[in-house]
Structure 1
Amino acid sequence: MTQLLPHPTRRPLPLPAVLAPAAASTLFALTPIRRPFAAATAGWVLSLPALELPLHVGVVVGAATAPVLARRSTRPSDVIGVGMAVLTCAGLGLVSTRQLAAARVLDRALAEPHDVAGETAGKSTTTTTPPSPRHRTPWPAVLLAPWPNVPRAVRARRGMVYGPDPAANRFDLYTCTNGAPARGVLIHIHGGHFRAGGPSRESRAMLFDHARRGWAAISATYHLSPTPESGFPQHLVDIKRLIRWIRAEGPDHGIPATTPIVVAGSSAGAHIAMMTALTAGDPEYQPGFEDVDTSLAGAIGLYGYYGRLGPATKETSDPVRRPATGAPPVAIIHGTLDTYTPVRGSRRLVGHLRAASANPVVYAELPGAQHGFDAVRSPRYLAVVAALRRFTEPLAG
């Protein structure tokens, strides 16, 4: 009779190996790689779980460590792993503390007076954003539903077309289900280095928040290109074409033709948003619809790139080379640890705008924030959403 041999038991991975991804993510969240660019980008991608979901990563670390602590006998690797878990959780705690600090930074940015370049009745003037109740973090949403889904009070219409190219000229439209005319329009332009991305992937919480409050919230894409410069100025023309669609076709979708429009963008989309704000009515970027009013009620930039798109277009594609005297109210928000689009670009644009614009320029640097902080409902990003609600509310019709 053949004797059955027992299957060899598979030894579990040592705890340090199990915790290595979380530990590395936390390390790069706190001390990002800055050079070379390829390594910095890889480090940024690896840091995203700890940066944006530190509490969730902490739960995973705790769940992996608990069985080791419950064992009576330990191996040397267990001691090392427990030490890694303690250090990782401490680092995640620091990340969480920085996230919570964003609300205070944003409150200060909104409350401080903003110098106005012009004069009224011979006196220099200042403006401030109206105060609001203190922001409270909705912890159930942060912990249980970090990826925001369309709320019940919001109607979603996806895959709409605003121009001649149905692939490139697409957008998703979010409106309140109460059927009231839109009080304002918020256009969000995605990032992706001008060559990737699509609607409704970033800033979803901001879009849904505005739609709930009676705005028409639009997430749009544009003609993507192999390089940023090769797509200029087509992507700028695309967004102006979307504004024309709002003015002409919007009334059929509950958007009055005179509704105030705010354009926001993330990363590359922030560049397009600022260029849109600084080229209102410029016929060069409105071919075939030169007479359409493309002026904005406001503009928002999140972790944006605001430099030239290439040497051949340095005079036309750099927002800082555009006159700022006619700029609308602007809010620019950037992370202090952004390695993909460093914060100095935002500081440069803010200086340019504040030197010449007759409208407020709200600027906030979020402590410890990296690129892409608007993907999930973290305490930091929800504080950004609350701050932008305060910024846009006075601009509504």
Structure 2
Amino acid sequence: MPFGFVFPVVLLTVATLAVLVPPRRFRVLGGIGLWAGRVLNELPQLAFYLLLLTTVLTVAGGDVTSPAGWVLVVVAVFCLAGLAVIFARGLQARPVVRDFLRAAGLAAPDRRWPWARIMLTPFLRRRGDVEHIRNLGYGPGGRRQQLDLYRHRSGPAGAPMLVHFHGGHYATGHKDSQSLPLLYQLAARGWVCISANYRLKPEFGFHDHLSDAKRVIAWAREHGPEYGGDPATVVVAGSSAGAHLTALCALTPGDPRFQPGFEQADTSVSAAVCLGGYLGALDQDLDVPTSPDDYLRPDAPPFLIVHGGNDLAIPADTARGFAERLGTASANPVHFLELPYGQHTFDLFHSPRFEAVIDAVAAFGAAVSPKERPTGKKA
């Protein structure tokens, strides 16, 4: 039996089982489930293509010559069925989002999903109608204080702006890694989108992370108009740890403790979008609270909190609980959207689940930004 058949069958079967039945109690198996969920839960179709091709070539080539080999073929068939189930689960996000938008009174965006990209090249994010401007500095900290900007090539003026912060436990990550399908889609709809780096552990701590995020918002208000942005509409968004930053930025506008050297800058935001976020306290002994719960306020901006129902890193209950407490405290809408079978990093690729999330964010953004300007084409 060729190793080129044994290896993918064993690897994909273990990963598929870990996605279908997320192991929460055992550290090793839970780790497999978490890492498998990062890719396989969103891109099972690519694994399906690979395993199907490998199986067909192995059988057609006459390489299955023993009972053990045929058992492995049967295992591969069951794995293919499991991958199909994972893909079908991802499709469930679309009707869930439609029902969510209807209940929230939000209008679903009029767009066609990029099915060819979803099925064949889901890891490709670029669009020909969007200009990507790289490595603009917003502070003196070099690469870690740079941002990328995305806008429609037609250069619309007065466009709403969205600022996104990446995740990575405040220790890893970079600005051109997460939520890029969302940034490109909003830019195609006429938004100016910003994705920013910020300084990371262990060299830098909580105050540095948060002040960097606020510097990006201040930069957007000051320099966004140079790129067509409207400083009156700045939505802040983030993934995982970036969602923690997002919530803190939205709940501490203009707080001088977190704006050293730019205390007078306007760092208020129009709305906040938290994607798969940790929304609790950091494990640090600091002079200020680090949990968004400690900054709840009645004038908090509208929030959209999206979380995976099968998130192994941050249970959905924690995000739901924060949404409920914020909704009680705030006079503005707080929307919580739980994605069926979604795991932690659902925002990396053009998957059916993330395309549905993009629809939700676009609808939420349109509601908080009456100035959203279509580019003349369905995005």
Q: Same fold (TM over 0.5)?
A: yes
SS of 1:179 mapped into structure 2: coil
Alignment partner of 1:336 is 2:309: yes
**1:53 equivalent in structure 2:** 43
**Deviation per residue, 1:279-313 (Å, 9 max, x gap):** 11212111222222211111011111011012524
1:290 alignment partner AA: E
Partner residue of 1:253?
A: 227
Q: Does 1:20 align with 2:20?
A: no
2:210 equivalent in structure 1: 236
> How far is the alpha carbon of 1:40 from its aligned partner?
2.5
**1:144 is the counterpart of 2:116:** no
3-state secondary structure, aligned to 1:112? helix
CA distance in 2, matches of 1:182, 1:209: 18
- Identify if the C-alpha distance between structure 1 residues 263 and 103 changes in structure 2 by more than 3 Å, giving closer, same or farther: same
**What is the CA–CA distance in structure 1 between the aligned matches of 2:233 and 2:210, rounded to whole Å?**
19
Task: Identify the residue that residue 352 of structure 1 maps to in structure 2.
Answer: 325
Match in the other structure for 1:379: 352
User: 1:393–1:190: structure 2 CA closer, same or farther, 3 Å change rule?
Assistant: same
Counterpart contact for 1:25–1:49, Cα < 8 Å: no
Aligned pair partner of 2:300 in 321, 327, 337 = 327
- Give the Cα separation in 2 of the matches to 1:389 and 1:131: 8
CA contact (8 A) 1:175 1:217 kept: yes
Q: Secondary structure at 2:143's aligned position in 1? A: coil
Query: Given the alignment of the two structures, is residue 389 of structure 1 paired with residue 362 of structure 2, yes or no?
Result: yes
Query: What pairs with 1:59-138 in structure 2 (closer than 5 Å)?
Result: 59-70=49-60, 74-113=65-104, 128-132=105-109, 137-138=113-114
Mean CA deviation greater in 245-254 or 262-271: 245-254
Aligned to 2:376: none
Give 2:159's aligned amino acid. R
Distance 2:225 2:113 in 1: 36
User: CA offsets per residue over residues 1-45 of structure 1, 9 Å max, x none?
Assistant: xxxxxxxxxx62384444111111111111223245565334321
Cα contact 1:110–1:362 (8 A) shared by 2 = no
Distance in 1 between residues matched to 2:114 and 2:126, nearest whole Å: 17
TM-score with structure 1 setting the length: 0.87
Cα RMSD after superposing both structures: 2.1
Query: Structure 1 residue 41 and structure 2 residue 31: aligned?
Result: yes
Q: Percent identity?
A: 36
Q: Which residue is equivalent to 1:221?
A: 197
SS, match of residue 233 in structure 1: helix
The question of whether the paired residues in 2 share the 8 Å contact of 1:207 and 1:217 is answered with yes
Equivalent pair of 1:324/1:357 in contact (CA under 8 Å)? yes
Counterpart in the other structure of 1:287 = 260
Mapped contact 2:18–2:29 kept (Cα < 8 A) = no
- What TM-score, normalized to structure 2? 0.91
Say yes or no: does 1:31 pair with 2:21. yes
Kept after mapping to 1: 8 A contact 2:163/2:194 = yes
CA drift of 1:95 comes to 0.8
* Whole-Å separation in 2 of the counterparts to 1:70 and 1:88: 19
- Per-residue displacement from partner, 1:264-285 (whole Å, max 9, x unpaired)? 1000000000000111121211
Residues 17 and 39 of structure 1: CA distance in aligned 2, closer, same or farther (over 3 Å): closer
Who is 1:119 aligned against?
none
Supply the distance in 2 between the matched residues of 1:91 and 1:254 (Cα, whole angstroms): 47
C-alpha separation in 2, matches of 1:311 and 1:167: 25
Judge conservation of contact 1:26–1:47 (CA < 8 Å) in 2: no
Change in CA separation of 1:364 and 1:314 when aligned onto 2, cut-off 3 Å: farther
SS where residue 33 of structure 2 aligns? Answer: helix
Number of the residue aligned with 2:180 = 204
- Write the distance in 2 (CA, Å) between the matches of 1:144 and 1:83: 26
CA contact 2:37–2:345 (8 Å) conserved in 1: no
* Structure-2 change in CA distance of 1:320 and 1:57 (3 Å): same
Alpha carbons 1:30, 1:91 under 8 Å: kept:
yes
Q: Secondary structure at the match of 1:262?
A: strand
Listed one character per residue, the Cα deviations across residues 290-349 of structure 1 (whole Å, up to 9, x for unaligned) are 222211111011111011012524961111121231211111111111111221220121
SS of 1:52's equivalent?
coil
The structure with the largest alpha-carbon Rg is 1
Ranges in structure 1 where 5+ consecutive residues have no aligned partner = 1-10, 114-127
Q: Is the 8 A contact 1:333 1:366 kept in 2?
A: yes
Amino acid corresponding to residue 129 of structure 1 in structure 2: L
